Amino acid sequence: MDSTVFVATCDLAGLTRGRGVPAGELDAVLRRGVGWVPANLALTCFGGIAEDNAFGSTGDLRLMPDARTEVVLPERDGHPQVRILLADQTLPDGQPWDCDPRTFAREALADLRERFGLEVVASFEHEFMLDGTEGTAPFSFARYRSAEPFGSGLVQLLAQAGLEPETWLPEYGENQFEITLAPTSALAAADRAVLLKELVRDLARRHGRRVTFAPLQNPDGSGNGVHVHLSLVDAATGRPVLFDEQRPGRLAEVGARFAGGILAHARALTALTAPSPSSFLRLQPHRWSVGGIFLAERNREALLRICPTSTVGGGNPARQLNLEYRAADATANPWLVLGSLIRAGLAGLAGDDQPPKVWPEDMAEQQFDEIPGLPADLSEALEELEKDTAVRDWFAPELLRTHLDVKRAELAAVEGLDPADVCRRVADVH
């Protein structure tokens, strides 16, 4: 039996927040939503509201749930059932609020369809640490089994919730696992990225285990990323358009131009996609995260990786080819990540720059010297975001200002701490 419905959004700290209502009020909530406050957008990951924010104590909003996003956490071991519905943040009359991250993503996708007749198929690939598997080897069956019964329960829960799990695997880092979901329409993929973290955390609590999606638990450890997979299809026919056997990396010109826009604005984008005080400790060369701003075939140091395809079992490369953006993590808002990547891709499609070079899989170590690097830390990334006038113009001024305020407040909260303590503070939240 239902107990409550949780109407949720995801904020600029990458945390899911919202309000619970009695299950019997679901129909009314779907019609009218629940109340919300603009200043909630200015909450930092550490709990306080960024003092220098655009909203103060004024204004009101509605959280208007989207029934298509509903997932059910079933009753188990004394934990009552709850339904979660993701919501748009709207004005009191139901009109869109231009600071809502989900609306930002939806409008970017609409522009891509209107201007170029293209739609995006996407998937967000998450890594996290699960305690209780110490001493097991990377990728091993021992680690896989040490996660039970949490692991099997997670796959079952995600399948029942309609999130279409594809793989569940032990990863390289200590206590590290990865969960991947099937590709789907882009907004639904970002919705799933919001929901997945909460389903993982909730199930772990029920099993008496702790998880963290934080970029790093310690500066020298393995990091947790969120790899965003993007492919483009013709909006009218659903035909994939990224594959061209004759071009470098088999990436069609439209895909290369889309990638070029992301590369051109990458330094600013990282302030949105890797926005925690510990994020850039992970984004370093030779850490299998991002070694520089380049497009490459199957190279896990690339900001954008052209993923491999396979013809085994009748596989169709044209339907498999996709771009993987590797400079994101779970401290980011998935809707902002998606919308920002789409806006950057749009800039590449609309511009007249030459498509970027596709670096080969076997590029030499010394060739990294030719490749521009990411910002050194979040502070520098925020400066790059402010300097990039094209990126600034994608956002409502109050949304951009609030993002900058929140991130600088988070940096101030860890000022003076050594990197290990910064990692611990972020890991305790995420």
CB contact burial 69-104 (16+ within 10 A = b; e otherwise): bbbebeeeeeeeebbbbbbbbbeeeeebbebbbbbb
Which sign, positive or negative, has the C-alpha torsion 196, 161, 81, 24?
positive
Model confidence, pTM: 0.94
pLDDT, position 219: 87
Confidence band, pLDDT 50/70/90 cuts, at residue 402: very high
What's the pLDDT band for 12 if we cut at 50, 70, 90?
A: very high
Q: What is the DSSP letter of 14?
A: S
Confidence of residue 370 (pLDDT cuts 50, 70, 90): confident
Contact yes or no for 259/251 (Cβ under 8 A): yes
Q: Which of 197, 194, 206, 166 is nearest to 74 (CA)?
A: 206
109-158 residue pLDDT tens: 999 999 999 999 999 999 999 998 888 999 999 999 999 999 999 999 99
Q: Which pLDDT score is estimated for 332? A: 97
Amino acid 240 reads: P
Task: Tell me the pLDDT band of 76, cut-offs 50, 70 and 90.
Answer: confident
Average pLDDT estimate for 207-230: 92
Cα angle 311, 320, 351; round to 5:
135
pLDDT at 367 (0 to 100): 64
Task: State residue 52's pLDDT score.
Answer: 78
Q: Is the pLDDT of residue 420 over 60?
A: yes
Report yes or no: 10 and 105 within 8 Å, Cβ to Cβ: no
* pLDDT tens track for 169-211: 999 888 999 999 999 999 999 999 999 999 999 999 999 999 9
CB 62 within 8 A of CB 32: yes
**List of domains in the chain:** 2-97 (3.10.20.70), 102-395+403-429 (3.30.590.10)
**412 CB burial (10 A radius; 0-12, 13-18, 19+):** middle
Per the prediction, the chain carries an average pLDDT of 92
